Structure 1
């Protein structure tokens, strides 16, 4: 007779093998990996991580994935080793000796790594300080324990930054502009193959950012997350409340969604079979997790959802189907091929009716109830009204259309107008350029001054055949307007004087305050620098760059019109006396340093052109009403190709005290030149002293040399401005000084890139190397004069001793 205990064992053991006997826990550590059959479960048991086989589970291919834990249908939302499955059940997930998460299989007693995270060096610590945890949001986080007394945990890596085919609530989709991290979705290959498929859904950050669904590199559908997302339009029909979160700033451009009803299960995913973007929510039928996924949204699902169905310069209208052709040319345009159009083939799109639209009495007509064209190649200028936007577009013969959006500013189009479709409740009105005949015949022409810019206009000294670079994309003011605004350039309106001439405060008839930079007629720096500044700054838009509103050319007169900065230049706060310097608190100084860093980082890395300013100094940083810093004066700036690192000039320009040695002596300049200048500004802000005007009773060193000596002696705190009011963390203040010294190191190769500089300033966890000796820190003369702008071919700097000159 069978022993009862053996009978129980023989019955239950096969059940364990059939259903899978899973051990669950909350974390993975270097000494506690999970093996095939184990589970990592979130705190509230919403999600689980483990090994699975797709499809009906009979496949020998094993993957590590995350799925919903409490519902009856296994729904995988993330896969780690999606393109490298494990053959069999010998797999495990652990943390290696470098602190990275790894997936490996045991093949012939050897561990073969099939997937791993790539944690960067600044956040690495000993492997024993790392652990992985699955959160109730579905996010797998790799954490490391800090070594400071606070014993805080930091995120070294997270699965939300590397999505597969599914977007979960609170998961961001889009670009981190600081690190370059791009989060996007890609479909599975097949329903039973989680490998990387051919469909993707990603943020396109150029122009006005859009979310685009692709098949390979072919656009299938686009959504404007900040303006007219169809998902947002239909959210009120859902059984739960959905809120979209969209961010577009210098640090990131991302979209995420949040469920107000947190108990609902919802996911957005890219379907693998037909490449649709779908949104499903889980509906319990019998309770206890037994239910089904219900589709609440999918796209594309109408003819006009398909990208560019009607070609260029036309729009698509589903309401015309099936009796009529859904494609119609935009105002001022006609079918490129009438024969194709009659056959309901609009792939060739439409073309202009007239002979061209450039200073021939053309203007703009409103496009009624239609989604704005593809914004990938649009040009965006913040804070311009609709009238100002119209004026800017009219002055450029290549500008095809425009609109103005409250949060984004002026949007203008210069290429083909693609993917326009009819919407009964279009969120934006926009205007298309048409010739004089069309303008007169169209009843939807914009009322009041159609085709006439709101600001007074005068012809620019560039002809109609000018290159694209020379075509201005900003307002042109006439002399009468500028003279009236500045009280005929009276001395009472004069607010400063630079190397190019005086600067005046003015006020337009609309009440808008402006700053007018009037080029001195005796200046030898004139036309080239004026033209350079107009062309460059018109293409640059950032909250930490001063905004150019327009220009004026009248005979020999050339003027630039800027937004007015109420608090003037930074140097008046650093080196001024009385009220200004006393209100220059620690938090204000830090915000200004970080803001300038953001602006330089944009110039070097994130702008359409790679710009080297070449004349960064305290007087070229202006402060708005809220003390936000804005870099100004781009007359000496140079545009680089994105594959170009440095160049040499025979014409050295700039300002002594802010120039790096390799530029002042040999004319070599690069992005590291601006880094050096920024380092000088940091040290001036922290000390309240000028670099070249600095005097000390014990030596003849400039500010850089003095700061270096104090740093090496462990007395850097003595550098801090005694007028800096309020309490502040000494460690952060010393960190700023250290960053400044890193930026002004003698050899360019030792100076950090601006991306690293910015990270050092905003993240206390970023590791700072030990600064080396600064450049230009030995001064032979104790007599200094005020900083003067330079413009000469061979500067003489006899007081400098330097050994490393090559820019890298």
Structure 2
């Protein structure tokens, strides 16, 4: 038997040898497979641009490459022929000379320089090498006589992945130093058991899970990353279940690359050009080293500056260093502490407000409750700590360790943690006898008197300036009368119809027929001159703004047209009163249909509910991504979801949040709190409001559509709220009031048990589509994730409801806050303050 195997092996090698063309220096013939013993030099294959292997269809070649700009440095690479793009390199850290040699022996593949020194080689194998093959996928493979793979480039990626190539957990793509220098730099794209992450010197600055285009389908641990012609996928341990997926336009040739500047991109080769489909992070200031060490990226094209108190150091790669020569930054960390730390004292240089650091968004704080002094002490005792960010309101202390990159503008509101850079001062300690020396009494009296006079004068001047500015603002807004507004119609394009005040008084019978009210004002029904029924909103919480700014906002709102948005017909300004005139929706609001329906009226059928959910999603998706500028609604609730004719959805009050002053935005917050359940958690923290705030509110409305009741008015009963599986869950512990169950929490528990039938409105008597109930519940829960970046975008919500994308899997751990959030408002506020 052994002799038979040996004979077959010999015959296979024999036929392989004779099936390949003979390679000679005088007349090189390209082939997709070569056998030992083979030797090639750049000089030998100069006629084929250094190539001596091509894939069967000629898509890829293996060749010597000099990147066009390195006259004496060459790389042995696999290259996409049509675009001349390198997808893999052997000796990326050690360019070779023009006379270097590639050798294939039975022991493996190696590259030797002109001095016969090995610059690169494959590892040793248990079997002898029979052939080197370049497959049509771009994979360069060493096989033995049984055609078993011994080594392949797909297992040793550089900075690029191609279709079909897998990147397993623990493996990384390593960014290059530059376009013309393939040496490994500090950026990594790494697959973990939970995510795909971008890191700079070990510090995370982007994750796939934070992207709205990434859908999570499973909680299974990740095994590997693979790209197909239609998307990017993270697969589970079994190799078949998709954990994360990003859908892309179909293309037969794609590359995923970690660029030398730290961005991750996916491109398709179309029409002899690479078309970039996906690039992250988009904001260049979110890349860790855009402006070098301690540089501040200002998001203006971008512009790089040094923070206040720092200057550029041309001798140190233009890094920012302290202006004071007596202050120095820590150098390398050694066993005895930071070098240069001795004979000096530790100081902390405060950064100006509005600065943020990329790692703060991905690292847990050292401590959640800690004052600034203690936070600095923790850093001082840590040799690797180079600075801190401290949030005064929460006491969170973030350490900046090992390496410092660039700073970026703060991204979540005007307030945030303040940064402090650790440094050492070489100024000698002040002698005790100098500390005891005092000023003469007469000098002290003069100083105190002068200081008091100066302070008093400054206060008087500032008070006068403030009063004048306040009076000017009032006069400015007071000038918003009809005649001045008429002048603006000539200069501001897109303004809707301007109604006269008397016209609206007549239309509404002196504002007699009130049909609704909310955070932005009171709404009256009216009939204008052409017998058209309208809804007139009197804005009662308008901020103090100039007439030009107000009219610009009205023009912006008036130019927004979508089938699922209420149309703004016109406006009116009368003194300090402002009115907006909308098209009237004859079926009223979703709130009245769901919650105020009389017993003799028919219950809103399930199909209409699903169409309402989809219409809401389409309208919000347009506001978030279809307009020229993103519009955040800030007040999504059933009262603002209007219905027209055949229950067609029309979202109202969009764009009005911009018209609120800071003080009146607090009024809106109070109003929203009154209608319990629609506030996103970030409203109660220092984090800013984004389009994901609307996504949260949308999720709450979805659950009310499913149940047909307010989320916090669900009466508990023995059959629905009992814990049938004995897991200790007590729904009443999170109820809105005694005897009531918080429905979002109940929905979460039923989702865990896959008991979606129990969540549907009992008034429908089972006339529902269970698969659609499951879809709405899963989408709703995904929208309620406490971390905004985990919530899907409204564009993706539309795709999920339309069936174009699979419905995402809610993250249970990001929904556990509902146990507290369904309780009293004060408890909720304390909870969110702790986690914020």
Same fold? TM cut 0.5 = no
Q: Larger Cα Rg: Structure 1 or Structure 2?
A: 2
TM-score (norm 2): 0.41
Q: Of Structure 1 and Structure 2, which has the larger fraction of its residues in helix? A: 2
TM-score (norm 1): 0.42
